[in-house]
């Protein structure tokens, strides 16, 4: 996704839930993305922090504003997915998803509402499972339904600011969040479920984000379902 934005001329930061160790996986991943962007002639910085921590996120916004002279686009992809039937869900898992998926979205959205410049865009992330209603996804879907509510209301609260607020709701997409814990048979069945008969790719979702971040100035307060027609 960052690579697509770089091709579109969008400068920005890579924010991740970085750990304290310098060789932690998230640090390595974020640093590698920055390296690819800069090698291609773009500009990027990596900023660490927990999306649910308002102080850490304020510092991240400060760093980006200082590095690039302001903020025009915020893409809030942070999320976790812990699956279980509602009847047996560990409430600690519910709290973890609430902290990242709901509080994290709210913290970033609040900062974006105060920091984005006119002509800017905030893009949150929901899920197509809000329509598919797969068993075992109850708590996750509840957290993403909250994201959709935040998105739709904030778009209206920013009336007159020339800032769009939308959400992308991917369907089954070949990312670690989706693939982890699923058998090859489960993945194959989900790939066949969409009329296009394949899983989505990160590039597919990046195209939708790039549309919302750039030319889609008349799309506001919407949830765009990018799922190959599965729902």
d(CA 160, CA 156): 9
> Please, how many CA atoms are within 13 Å of residue 138, restricted to the half-sphere of its CB?
11
pLDDT at res. 181: 85
Q: How many residues are listed for the chain in this entry? A: 231
What DSSP assignment string belongs to 104-173? HHHHHHHHHHHHEEEEEEEEEE--THHHH--TT-HHHHHHHHHHHHHHHHHHHHTTTS--EEEEEEE-SB
Sign of the C-alpha dihedral computed for residues 132, 133, 139 and 143 taken in this order: positive
pLDDT at res. 4: 52
Candidate list 140, 167, 194, 209, residue with the active-site label: 140
Domain membership flag for residue 1: no
**Could you list the residue range(s) of the whole structural domain that residue 178 is in?**
70-226
Q: Is 137 a catalytic residue?
A: no
Domain membership flag for residue 5: no
Tens digit of each residue's pLDDT, the chain (231 residues):
545 544 554 445 555 443 334 445 677 888 888 899 989 999 999 988 999 999 999 999 999 999 999 999 999 999 999 999 999 999 999 999 999 999 999 999 999 999 999 999 999 999 999 999 999 999 999 999 999 999 999 999 999 999 999 999 999 999 988 888 889 999 999 999 999 999 999 999 999 999 999 999 999 999 999 999 999
Could you tell me the pTM of the whole model? 0.88
What DSSP assignment string belongs to 24-89? -HHHHHHHHHHHHHHHTT--EEEEE--TT-HHHHHHHHHHHHHHHSSEEEEEE---------GGG-
The count of structural domains within the chain is 1
Domain membership flag for residue 44: no
Contact 118, 162 (CB under 8 A): yes
pLDDT at res. 15: 52
Domain membership flag for residue 47: no
Q: Find the CATH number of the domain harbouring 111.
A: 3.40.50.720
Domain membership flag for residue 50: no
């Amino acid at each position: 996704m960052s690579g697509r934005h770089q091709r579109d001329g969008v400068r920005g930061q890579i924010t991740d839930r970085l750990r304290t160790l310098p060789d932690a996986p998230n640090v390595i991943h974020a640093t590698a993305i920055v390296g690819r962007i800069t090698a291609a002639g773009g500009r990027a910085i990596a900023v660490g922090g927990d999306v649910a921590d308002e102080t850490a996120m304020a510092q991240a916004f400060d760093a980006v504003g200082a590095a690039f002279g302001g903020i025009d686009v915020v893409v809030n992809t942070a999320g976790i997915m812990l699956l279980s039937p509602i009847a047996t869900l560990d409430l600690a898992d519910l709290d973890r998803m609430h902290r990242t998926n709901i509080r994290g979205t709210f913290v970033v959205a609040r900062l974006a509402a105060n920091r984005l410049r006119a002509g800017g865009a905030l893009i949150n992330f929901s899920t197509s499972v809000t329509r598919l209603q797969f068993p075992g996804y109850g708590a996750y879907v509840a957290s993403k339904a909250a994201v959709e509510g935040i998105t739709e209301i904030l778009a209206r609260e920013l009336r007159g600011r020339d800032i769009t607020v939308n959400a992308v709701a991917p369907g089954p997409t070949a990312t670690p969040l989706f693939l982890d814990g699923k058998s090859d048979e489960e993945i194959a069945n989900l790939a066949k479920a969409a009329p296009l008969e394949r899983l989505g790719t990160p590039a597919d979702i990046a195209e939708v984000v790039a549309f919302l971040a750039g030319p889609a100035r008349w799309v506001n307060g919407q949830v765009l379902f990018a799922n190959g027609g599965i729902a």
